[in-house]
Amino acid sequence: MGILPTTIPQQAESPLITFSFTDVAEGTGIQTFFLANTKEDTTTSYLLTGNEIYSNDQIETVSLAIDTSSFTKFGDFDFDTSVLNLPRNIRGTLSSNLFWSIQKATGFVCQGYIILKLRKWDGTTETEVTSVQSETVTSTQAGVEQISAVQVLVSDTHFKKGDTIRLTVEVWAKNTDPSNQGTIKFGNDPQNRIDDISEGSKSTVYMPFRIDS
C-alpha cells in the first residue's frame, strides 16, 4: 500500500490588483496615475506613477521660437510607469486633467495646445496606442492658465510582462511675437505645489484596465 503524502501543495493565489475605482458599464478598473519627475545627478526622469511623491520640479517649461506662423512641436516628454511585472490589458475611456499655461509678451498673439499619446514601450520599440488633443488656447495678454480635461477611448490593448506604459506629452504652439520667445508650462507634481501655475500642478491620468471575470 502506498504512503500518502503528509502535506498537500496549495495552489498559488493570483496577485491582487487594486484600482482607484471601477466603471461598471465598461467593465474596467480605473487606476490613477500622476505625472512626476525625479533628478539623479544631472539626469531628469519622467514618471507615470501611482504614488503621490514630491517631484523634483513642479513645473516643466518649454520655450517657444519667435515669429512662427504655423503650429510647431516645441516639447516632447515621455512619462513611464515602472516595468510591468504582470501582463495587463488597457481598455475603455482614458481621462486626464492637465494643468498648463501660456506666457508671452503683451501685444502679440500666442496659441498652443497639448497632445497626450498613450504608448507601449518594450525597451526597444515604441508603439502608439492612441492620442488625444486638448483645446487650443489663445493668449493675447501676459499669460493664460488652463486646466484641460480630455478623454479618449482605448481599444483593448495587451501589455505583456516586461512592457512599460508610456504617456507622451507633446507641446504645440505658434507665436507671432518677432522678438520674444514666450513659454508654455505644465504641471507635473503629485503633491500639487503651487509654482508658476496658480491653479495647481497635479496633472492626473485615469487609466482603464480590463477586469477579467
Count how many Cα atoms sit within 13 Å of the Cα of residue 107 in the half-sphere of its side chain: 5
Indicate the pTM of the whole model. Answer: 0.87
Which pLDDT tens digit goes with each residue over 163-209?
999 999 999 999 877 777 788 999 999 999 987 788 899 999 999 99
pLDDT surpassing 80 at residue 58: yes
Percentage of residues in the chain having pLDDT higher than 90? 65
**Closest C-alpha to 170, from 133, 129, 143:** 133
What pLDDT is attached to residue 8? 46
What pLDDT is attached to residue 72? 93
pLDDT band at 105 (very low <50, low <70, confident <90, very high): low
Buried b / exposed e across 114-129, counting CB within 10 Å, b at 16+? bbbbbbbbeeeeeeeb
Taking the C-alpha atoms of residue 9 and residue 39, their distance in angstroms, rounded to an integer, is 46
Average pLDDT over residues 33-37: 97
Which pLDDT tens digit goes with each residue over 106-155?
667 889 999 999 999 999 999 999 999 999 998 876 678 999 999 999 99
What domains, with CATH codes, occur in the chain?
A: 21-210 (2.60.120.260)
pLDDT surpassing 90 at residue 98: yes
